[in-house]
Structure 1
Amino acid sequence: MSTAPNGTGPSLEVLELRVHGVRNTPPQEMLGTTTDNLQMVHEGAVTLGDNLAGFYAPKSPLPGQKTRLEAYSWGNLDRFSKGNSFFGKVGRVVYNLGWFLIAPFGFANAAYWARSFRPDPSREGGIRTGSGGGVVRLFGLLLTLLLVSAVSTVAFDLVAVQCFQPTGQPNSWKVCSALPSQFDGLRELTRGQRLAALSLAPILAVVLVSLLGLVSDVRFRTRAGDAARALDNQTESDAFALAVPSLWVRRRINSPTGMLHIAASIHLVVILLMSDALGRDGAAASSLLILASVQLGVVALVVAVWARSIHPPLAADFWTSRHVWAFLLLAAATLTYIGCLITEASLSDENPSSPFTAGQLTPTIILVCLTILATVGCVVRSGYNEWIAMAVLTVGVAALVVVVGGWLDPLGAGANALAIAVVVLCALGFVLPYLILRRRDPHRKEHAWHGAGPGVFMYLGLVIAAFLASAVALGIGSYLRAGRLQSSADRADPLFRDLTIPNGAHDIAVPTVFWAFGGVLVLIVVFVGALLCVLAWLGLRKAIIDSPPVDPAEAVFAREIDAVRRSSAFLQRAEPLLHTLSWVIGVTVTVSLAFTVMRQARDVTDRWAWIRGALRAVFGGDDGVAAFSSFAQWAVLTSVVLGALAVVSAAVANAATAGRGRPLGLLWDLMAWLPRAAHPFGPACFSERAVPELADRIMRWLEPDGKPAPQRRVLLATHSLGTVLGVAALFHLAALGKSDLLGRIRLLTFGMQLRPYFGRFFPELFGPEVLGTPGIAAPSFWTADPWKGKDLGDHPVPSPAPSVAGTPLTELLHIPNGAFALPSRPQPVWINLWRRTDYLGFPGYSYSAMPNNLDRVALEMEPDSYMARVATHGNYLPTMAYLQARDELLVGW
């Protein structure tokens, strides 16, 4: 559409391209029209979109339309829709539950991108991963192994061993009453044969998780033309990761690292089976055990080494091809597994009811290792070498486990004192260098959790993974335990019956670590509930958030506006709440692991007897301890059941709404917009399709048929997460060598989170140096206004460090340094709209320097509501602030 705003300048063709975010607003709402007046954009015979994402425009111009309107709709990229039939809804429920299962992998991916890294054209993928990449990838590998251990506990320990007990008669077995009759055939097998028969269960669980990623991999894949264009510009270099050309190029799910995760899962299954078989055939079992352990170590080492680059090389000779080495390691794992099956099937059936000790210990070891890696993740941004930090912490944790377990007691008090000294020295060697290095970082206040972001994300992934593993083990264990109760009728009562346990009844023993982590969940739920109540009291009191002041036109609704401002500010304390929660997780996980170690070592040392004695003193004898134990089990199971019901309810509710919402809502958007770099089975990245598509559409408009069109302009209007996609698309244009086009683009953002969320969580991607805007400190935990006094500078952004030579967003858009803080208002190139009642919308420059030349405050009452209603995160487009900002950007262009 041709336009000459206010009669100034030549006749221009301005494309107003609207991109929405978290709400994934339908295109007709973005354009302010009806579905009948909506069409997908065509360029010649090419349709610019499909049923997942694309560009839409009105069929006929809208009243007062000054530009060519288009809307980029990408909402179906992170949804699963297979129709509204019964089977379609069931499919969506299963799909959503699967996404909950891989949520910990998504947090590992967020931890990977929260680290410090920089571009390096010599590396495949164009990024030097920096410190912590190997730690995060090992953390992801252990998350996979935790899933394997949880399923193995059920298949091997609970079912194959504990649910089949000898009766004392030859070839006669007692079977768990709760087991389906399909398992009765396993009675004819020996213990080793049953274990071999069920050994596929944990391997299939990992394969199914990988297939879940494959489903979305095709949906989100970068278009072939966009990928080729990016790969042709690999020689371009910039100091900002968003300007790396191949950053948004989709890689297949069957990556070499994915093959290694499957290989490691097979190795863990072999280790579990052969550890159990040592007492029955020591020679063959020990050989396979050593072989599988060595192979697992090699796989872990390769995973860590491959962390030096984001993507595997596209071109490599045979002996340097990662796919070849991954295939060889997977083939070796398969051969070892076959040998394990043959060995298990041929073993004698001595001690068929002995405990499956390996299944009891393995989850504990994995969770200890996960805790160590998550703690190391807290220090990697400071510059502390990841391997030195991990070595120091590992030695300290090993010494602590020895002390807690009491294994040094036979050596006397001096040995324990020495071990405690090692623990203290390791703690000092871990904490002091971190504190010194952190203080040297002048930008630490601009980073979430003072630079501990990777560790916080890893702790969140750890606690969710532990909950899912505990839910599997405790849920199935409780189901199997229910079968031990026998009912006998009580003739005296027509309504109730007595439940009795016959003498000699066998109980199902779920590994202690799963009970302990269920207890962690109880403590976390109690803590978070109490903390939120305190915050609600302090943050939702009748205090007034008066910055900015309520507009005089809405003064009559000031009371309603103040109430919504307080509730929105309450929701903006996510960062300090997660900070506190990560401390709680760290402490409770450590205590629960210590509890687990003491209980599992109760037959070796007397540490557990101390705990029992203390409990007897507190609860008045064995009866009181038994009552407390029963209550603790009830509390743990209740918490796990409620958590599982919450997950299932969310999955069902999502399916009931025709799949319009995302399984994890905002949390899902935070995880799935990032390229999958830490865990091969994590959430697929919708940005890998959306960002190149947006950049391509802008290029198509500004350079039709590949030829410059000087009269054409783009007004990029982005909302919420759409701003993340839009800004990434602008950097992608620069990475493709199209920086000259950016002078013909102007940016209108509203309801965005670049500065306080994405800029703080992922500084290398959206930090102050990248955006060219001042940073902001963490929100206050206790005050009614969490952002009061948190601006880190209302002046021009300091010059980048000598090692940083990238071009920030403001320079790409040709905005002079300091233009946002000028008292006079120059011709704007970027305008940001926000409301104080918007729980997800923030200023781009400052809270305190109002007004400024970047931020405009939109009115806080809904502009088109029939009844008076306070506006929050949506509906910016009909506001007068949007219309005025758009006209201001068009004037003089």
Structure 2
Amino acid sequence: MKRTAPGGAALELLVHGVGGATPEKMLNDPRTVRITGDETAAVFRRAEDVAADSAPDPGDDRGRATPVPEAYVWSNLTSGNGTRALWLLLLPFMVVNLAHWMRPAAARERTRAVRFYGLLVRLAALSLTVLLVAAACEVALDLTAWQCAGTPACAERHSWLGFLSPTVSDGGWWSLPGRRLALAALVPTALVGLLWYLSHRTWRAYESQEPLDRTPEPENGPGHTALGRPGFWYGRRLVARLRAAHTAAGLLTVAAAVGTAAARQDRRPGGPALLDVLGRLLEASLFTGALVTAWVVCRRGRSERRLDRRLDAHLVHRLPSAALVLLALTLVYAGWDRPGWTSEGRLPGDATFGGLAIAQGALVIVLAIVARALHHCPQSTATPGERCALNGLGGPAVAMLACALGGVMSGGVSQRVSDWLDGTGTFLDGPPVLLTWQASVIPVLLVVLLVLCAVLGRQTLLLTRAEQDKVISEYGVAPGDPSRTRRIARARAIATLTDRAPLLVAVTSTATLLLGAGALVGAFGTGKTPVRAGETAQPFVHGAAQTVQALGSWLIGLGFILFVTWGRRAYKDASARRTIGILWDVGTFWPRAAHPFAPPCYAERAVPDLTWRMASWTRATGGRLVISGHSQGSVLAAAAAWQLKPSDRKRVALLTYGSPIERLYGRWFPAHFGPEALDALHQDIDCWRNLYRPTDPIGGPVRLSGDDCGPQVDREPLADPLAYGRTEAHPLPTPVLGHSDYQADPAFAEERELLLARLRPEVPVQRT
């Protein structure tokens, strides 16, 4: 039993959701004042409430404190700057980072298995960095500097390459193959430098925000979640170490692409002995650097049990610097004059891309085995059936999608650039065979997705028909307006598509795994591109091979254009900037634990902000508070409550509406938002009420048993729309609100008043 202590002030802290909101709208007052924070994220009050902490309510003759509303506005963390729309290009890095947090919940503490799971995801993330830098090397070094500049007909078609061509420039200084490669290596090197710069800048802005320092709680009881550890939202040291390792890996990849071509030439009979020795020494140094980089990635994961303020300065500074020195030495070595060296065929990249594809497939398979061994989906008393996405295989499936995205981007861009450089298809040998096969499977994958979408569309149509009878029964309007009934039923049916996301992920990841295996077999089994492999078959097969290869090339080009178009629109259109920002509200909630080049985690700023505000309020005033969160704001509110000390947590009541905390986070991140963790949070705080609608595609029930606040944490599903037709209370047609404007429902005011009443000092409430 526990009783709220009388006396003290009361606070209502509002947290908005995806898309953002203005403090004026959240506080329902045109005059607001920022009381703490900055332009990125801040807490606002109404102008009349600025000094409400110490002044008693003048209208209350007993001097009790009226709950003071505050609004925490964090929208600029995700959608405030138009340049952040360009972070869409970092999508594979973000997806593989999500796979780290999708670790299944283990039935008991299995530290070694959990660490091995994190290690596998970090290695998969490292392979993505190497893959995308290798693709940049393929485009700049192989296709442009080696093949096109070394072919007179291609160089003449592209005049900007004339100074690199031995024939067009009449043997100019840059026309030697090694010097061409050294110059072209500046392009992927600049890409690595850009990724390092973006990661370093966001690291200073996000990971350097210190959370509340406190003594860690015991982790032996049920319902333990890592979100309550003091250092969970402070990954500064790990991100710095991973940034150094991935930067070094990218630079070493560029050095290997240049150095192996020159070393292969020097190992030919009659080559200079000195250059041969230097080439072997450089290759040994590059191999040693690769081993050190892998060791740094494997060495250690996150430090969450305490605030780890130290930095591995010797790694953060020396590892990228050493890789940069090796790259410079390699460029000098490659630029040496080698008589008789001409650029013929392709650079040795087939084995590189094939090895990466095999390594990624093996990592995903081992990750699935570990995830299945860890899998334990606990069932709460109010949770019917299995609520863990893909039976614990969500992480491996998402990791497979990240690798597939990297492969599609690499193969598609390489094939598109090759088609652009080689207009007639007769000048160049093109990209490595495997990349061409990977670009060719894109149309097949799209066909699979279209079939799946057609199946889901048919199911949604059938569900819409079934929901029409329920709508008529609930509103009691038989027969009703058919179009109005159909509109409400369709909104309910479309909202259920969120619950079918596991099917979409499972089919897509399985299809990409099988198609990737088929591309490997086709590339290494035939040793030819799909078109040339089809030449020996029937004319129909050859035509189909030509079609899928051309479609794959054009589709990836179209996708890149769409990315750039959305990014340019976000510079000028505030609504577009806000819409694109919503994509990151879900994908970038989690810290960068696997890939340092992923978009930054806004929660590493928002959660400490909320925790500091709540803790400072309760300690300064001795009062209690309601934290009210909509959509993603409810997830931030719960994460902040976990970060409080137990004594402060007991003074907090939680109101959530349109919340994905169980529907999305509980299913896809069971180790952190599983039923046991949510139930433990419910027991620790004073009270929790949750509102949702059947037409909401994001929010849903939390499925927890109740307490003295009510028999269940979830209120009965809210009616949406509020009225079927015109009524005395609603003389105008009411819209279907879905995920927005929960405050328009009278139930919201009732639940809010119930929680605020518990904060009043003259109403002590008992709770079991």
Same topology, TM > 0.5? yes
1:676-687 matches, cutoff 5 A: 676-687=592-603
Cα deviation code 1:154-185 (max 9, x no counterpart): 11111111112366xxxxx9625235268558
| Contact 1:129/1:308 (8 A) holds in 2 | no
Separation of aligned partners in 1, 2:12 and 2:401: 40
3-state secondary structure, aligned to 1:445: coil
3-state secondary structure, aligned to 2:465: coil
Separation of aligned partners in 2, 1:192 and 1:680: 32
3-state secondary structure, aligned to 1:71: strand
Q: Closer, same or farther in 2 for the Cα pair 1:713/1:441, shift >3 Å?
A: closer
Instruction: Give, in angstroms, the shift of residue 137 of structure 1.
Output: 0.7
- 1:143 matched to 2:128? The reply is yes
3-state secondary structure, aligned to 1:703: helix
Alignment match, 2:13 = 17
Cα deviation code 1:758-789 (max 9, x no counterpart): 012111211111001xxxxxxxxxxxxxxxxx
- Which stretch of structure 1 is more off in the superposition, 150-159 or 589-598? 589-598
| Contact 2:154/2:422 (8 A) holds in 1 | no
- 1:377 matched to 2:339? The reply is no
For residue 200 of structure 2, the aligned residue among 189, 197, 214 is 214
- Which stretch of structure 1 is more off in the superposition, 873-882 or 352-361? 352-361
| Contact 1:517/1:592 (8 A) holds in 2 | yes
- 1:855 matched to 2:711? The reply is no
Question: Relative CO higher for 1 or 2, CA cutoff 8 Å, sep ≥ 6?
Answer: 2
Instruction: Give, in angstroms, the shift of residue 809 of structure 1.
Output: 0.3
Alignment match, 2:272 = none
3-state secondary structure, aligned to 1:280: helix
Alignment match, 1:883 = 749
1:790-805 matches, cutoff 5 A: none
Separation of aligned partners in 1, 2:140 and 2:345: 14
Separation of aligned partners in 2, 1:447 and 1:760: 5
Alignment match, 1:368 = 358
1:89-168 matches, cutoff 5 A: 92=82, 95-97=84-86, 99-116=87-104, 130-165=115-150
Instruction: Give, in angstroms, the shift of residue 350 of structure 1.
Output: 2.9
AA paired with 2:145?
A
| Contact 1:756/1:842 (8 A) holds in 2 | yes
AA paired with 2:155?
V
- Which stretch of structure 1 is more off in the superposition, 440-449 or 759-768? 440-449
Separation of aligned partners in 2, 1:582 and 1:111: 13
AA paired with 1:691?
V
Separation of aligned partners in 1, 2:533 and 2:309: 61
Q: Closer, same or farther in 2 for the Cα pair 1:356/1:207, shift >3 Å?
A: same
| Contact 1:203/1:262 (8 A) holds in 2 | no
Separation of aligned partners in 2, 1:58 and 1:862: 30
Alignment match, 2:502 = 575
TM-score, structure 2 normalization = 0.83
- 1:468 matched to 2:409? The reply is yes
Instruction: Give, in angstroms, the shift of residue 149 of structure 1.
Output: 0.5
Separation of aligned partners in 2, 1:862 and 1:517: 51
| Contact 2:531/2:546 (8 A) holds in 1 | no
- 1:871 matched to 2:766? The reply is no
3-state secondary structure, aligned to 1:678: coil
Alignment match, 1:594 = 521
Separation of aligned partners in 1, 2:428 and 2:305: 49
Structure 2: runs of 5 or more not aligned: 51-58, 60-64, 268-275, 380-384, 724-729, 758-762
Instruction: Give, in angstroms, the shift of residue 729 of structure 1.
Output: 0.5
| Contact 2:231/2:305 (8 A) holds in 1 | no
Separation of aligned partners in 2, 1:267 and 1:566: 51
Q: Closer, same or farther in 2 for the Cα pair 1:830/1:152, shift >3 Å?
A: same
1:827-842 matches, cutoff 5 A: 829-842=687-700
Separation of aligned partners in 1, 2:309 and 2:71: 38
Separation of aligned partners in 2, 1:677 and 1:874: 32
Separation of aligned partners in 2, 1:326 and 1:373: 26
Instruction: Give, in angstroms, the shift of residue 200 of structure 1.
Output: 2.4
Separation of aligned partners in 1, 2:436 and 2:66: 64
TM-score, structure 1 normalization = 0.72
Report the number of matched residues: 702
1:245-284 matches, cutoff 5 A: 245-249=230-234, 251=236, 255-282=240-267, 283=276, 284=278
Cα deviation code 1:39-80 (max 9, x no counterpart): 212xxxxxx111111111222479x99631111110000124
Q: Closer, same or farther in 2 for the Cα pair 1:855/1:120, shift >3 Å?
A: closer
Percent identity over paired residues: 26
- 1:721 matched to 2:658? The reply is no
Instruction: Give, in angstroms, the shift of residue 600 of structure 1.
Output: 3.0
Instruction: Give, in angstroms, the shift of residue 306 of structure 1.
Output: 2.4
3-state secondary structure, aligned to 1:18: strand
3-state secondary structure, aligned to 2:116: coil
Alignment match, 2:382 = none
Separation of aligned partners in 2, 1:101 and 1:240: 32
- 1:528 matched to 2:449? The reply is yes
1:463-862 matches, cutoff 5 A: 463-482=404-423, 506-507=427-428, 509-541=430-462, 542-545=464-467, 551-552=474-475, 558-600=485-527, 613=536, 615-616=537-538, 619=539, 624=540, 626-658=542-574, 661=577, 664=580, 666-704=582-620, 709=622, 712-733=623-644, 738-772=645-679, 808-813=680-685, 829-845=687-703, 852-856=711-715, 857-861=717-721
| Contact 2:413/2:553 (8 A) holds in 1 | no
Instruction: Give, in angstroms, the shift of residue 215 of structure 1.
Output: 3.6
3-state secondary structure, aligned to 1:40: strand
AA paired with 2:499?
Q
Separation of aligned partners in 2, 1:266 and 1:130: 28
3-state secondary structure, aligned to 1:859: coil
| Contact 1:370/1:462 (8 A) holds in 2 | yes
| Contact 2:413/2:557 (8 A) holds in 1 | no
3-state secondary structure, aligned to 1:165: coil
Instruction: Give, in angstroms, the shift of residue 701 of structure 1.
Output: 2.1
Alignment match, 1:356 = 346
What root-mean-square deviation, in Å, do the aligned CA atoms of Structure 1 and Structure 2 show?
Answer: 3.6
| Contact 2:236/2:309 (8 A) holds in 1 | no
Q: Closer, same or farther in 2 for the Cα pair 1:222/1:267, shift >3 Å?
A: closer
